[in-house]
Amino acid sequence: MSDPVPPLTAPTRHSAGPRRSEASHAAILDAAEAILAERGSGGLTFEAVARRAGAGKPTLYRWWPNRTALLLEVYDRRKHRELPDHDTGDLAGDLLAVLADLWRFWRETPAGRAYAGIIAEAQQDDAARAVIAGQWTAPNFSLTPIFDRALARGDLTDAGEALTLREYVAAMNWFRLLTGRLDPADLPGLVATLIAGRTARRG
Amino acid sequence: MSDPVPPLTAPTRHSAGPRRSEASHAAILDAAEAILAERGSGGLTFEAVARRAGAGKPTLYRWWPNRTALLLEVYDRRKHRELPDHDTGDLAGDLLAVLADLWRFWRETPAGRAYAGIIAEAQQDDAARAVIAGQWTAPNFSLTPIFDRALARGDLTDAGEALTLREYVAAMNWFRLLTGRLDPADLPGLVATLIAGRTARRG
């Protein structure tokens, strides 16, 4: 039964189950985040991340189809750590609070430039672009609970309208980030104009 | 009086006045457009454009502070040649017509990828980003006459609201371009949701 020749891939990696897998996933994200901090986005290759995390490149490819997907998950994890949800009981109030946090996060940490870089890089790679294109409709996207609550309260009654408004907010965030215009003084006007009259019309 | 050594820069370039200057400006844009078509955005250097146009690099720098500004003017010139304005007498109608043209132009010609490339490249260069940030408020921007007419007709009564709506439209255009989602079937919903109730509220 014993085999003196070690297998090419350690079987424990495959048999350790979800707990080991989650730890490895987190270790890879930690390694990627450390490399980003030290060497910037240009230094983040799958090779460098795998070496630092003590993982195999195939493991990375199992979870992330490309560099953009990995960069985006590192970015998202940090964003979720640093930005709380805000439940103010009101659509405009929620949007103002969450967007003020997000714009500050983009302005005052390297995250803004990093995220703009992810969008820019994805323009040369259709698979990467598909990754960022799906982000704003994901259940864990920061705007999702805001519009879900607005529908639950009856502030908005049409799910299609809620989704389109959410996309306008995501689009404006990108536009302001990519044109370097993240002035928080603009937020009340932007939110009020988008939401104007919607709840009142139904009130 | 005669000088057998030719001057380093031809003095006629400086003394020929606005007509010569305009011709030279157009010749440089033509040269840049030809280089773009042949070699793509990566081949467009000020050096290559100057050589092909028979102009000096200082002449290029007089009109365009950087590559992005030149790329953007080539792109804008072609856009204005190919896309007509549409005066349908109605804000939603104008938007639908102009956006359908723009999205088709982006989908079906190299212009879409070129413009996405300009936005991406500008993320690494603050001066270039300032150029693209100013584009949507320019008088010759394609959305400007649409919102000016809506104000003139009284469809919109608040110039600040008109400007913010214009920015949401510009933002959504970028978002759809950069995420590769230029499906014309989405346009009626996007326009209707943004405009919904605005003219009715005042009607």
The tens digit of pLDDT for each residue in B178-189 reads: 999 999 999 999
- pLDDT at position A20 is 64
Q: Phi and psi dihedrals of B45, rounded to 5?
A: -110, 155
Are A93 and A166 in the same domain? yes
Are A30 and A45 in the same domain? yes
Look at residue A3 and tell me if it is in a domain. Answer: no
Tell me which residue range forms the domain holding A50: 11-63
Look at residue B5 and tell me if it is in a domain. Answer: no
Residues in chain A within 8 Å Cβ distance of B147: none
How far is residue B20's CA from residue B37's CA, in Å, rounded to a whole number?
A: 26
Listed range (A182-186, B24-28, B65-69) with the worst mean pLDDT:
B65-69
How far is residue A110's CA from residue B8's CA, in Å, rounded to a whole number?
A: 46
Are A91 and A179 in the same domain? yes
How far is residue A150's CA from residue A198's CA, in Å, rounded to a whole number?
A: 11
Average pLDDT of the residues in A67-74: 89
User: What is chain A's mean pLDDT, rounded?
Assistant: 87
B3 touches chain A (CB under 8 A): no
CB atoms within 10 A of CB A122: 27
Look at residue A148 and tell me if it is in a domain. Answer: yes
- The end-to-end CA distance of chain B, in Å, is 77
Are B59 and B72 in the same domain? no
**Cβ–Cβ below 8 Å for A180 and B119:** no
Query: Is pLDDT at B37 greater than 60 in this prediction?
Result: yes
Top residue of B107, B129, B137, B164 to mutate, by most chain A CBs within 10 Å, is: B164
- pLDDT at position A7 is 40
Are A46 and A109 in the same domain? no
- pLDDT at position A19 is 64
B151 touches chain A (CB under 8 A): no
Look at residue B186 and tell me if it is in a domain. Answer: yes
Q: What is the CATH number of the domain that holds B129?
A: 1.10.357.10
How far is residue B57's CA from residue B65's CA, in Å, rounded to a whole number?
A: 11
Q: Using alpha carbons, list the distances in angstroms from residue A116 to A79, A88, B66, B114, B187.
A: 14, 29, 20, 18, 26
Residues in chain B within 8 Å Cβ distance of A190: 164, 167
Look at residue A1 and tell me if it is in a domain. Answer: no
Are A105 and A38 in the same domain? no
The number of domains in chain A is 2
Q: What six digits make up the tokens of B111? A: 């212009």
Are B56 and B120 in the same domain? no
% of chain A surpassing 90 pLDDT: 65
Look at residue A5 and tell me if it is in a domain. Answer: no
- State the pLDDT confidence band at B197, using cuts at 50, 70 and 90: confident
Query: Is pLDDT at B194 greater than 80 in this prediction?
Result: yes
Nearest to A193 by CA among A174, A169, A171, A173: A169
Average pLDDT of the residues in A65-90: 91
Are A104 and A180 in the same domain? yes
Look at residue A6 and tell me if it is in a domain. Answer: no
Taking CA–CA distances from B191, the nearest residue in chain A reads A164
Taking CA–CA distances from B164, the nearest residue in chain A reads A190
Are B109 and B153 in the same domain? yes
- State the pLDDT confidence band at B2, using cuts at 50, 70 and 90: very low
Residue with more model confidence, A199 or B108: B108
How far is residue A44's CA from residue A33's CA, in Å, rounded to a whole number?
A: 9
Are B54 and B89 in the same domain? no
- pLDDT at position A140 is 83
How far is residue A172's CA from residue A189's CA, in Å, rounded to a whole number?
A: 12
Decide which of B23, B46, B63 is a domain's last residue. B63
Look at residue B6 and tell me if it is in a domain. Answer: no
- Lookup result for tokens 């672009």: A129
Query: Is pLDDT at B202 greater than 60 in this prediction?
Result: no
Are B78 and B173 in the same domain? yes
Are A20 and A107 in the same domain? no
- pLDDT at position A89 is 95
Q: What is the CATH number of the domain that holds B55?
A: 1.10.10.60
Q: What six digits make up the tokens of A48? A: 């460098």
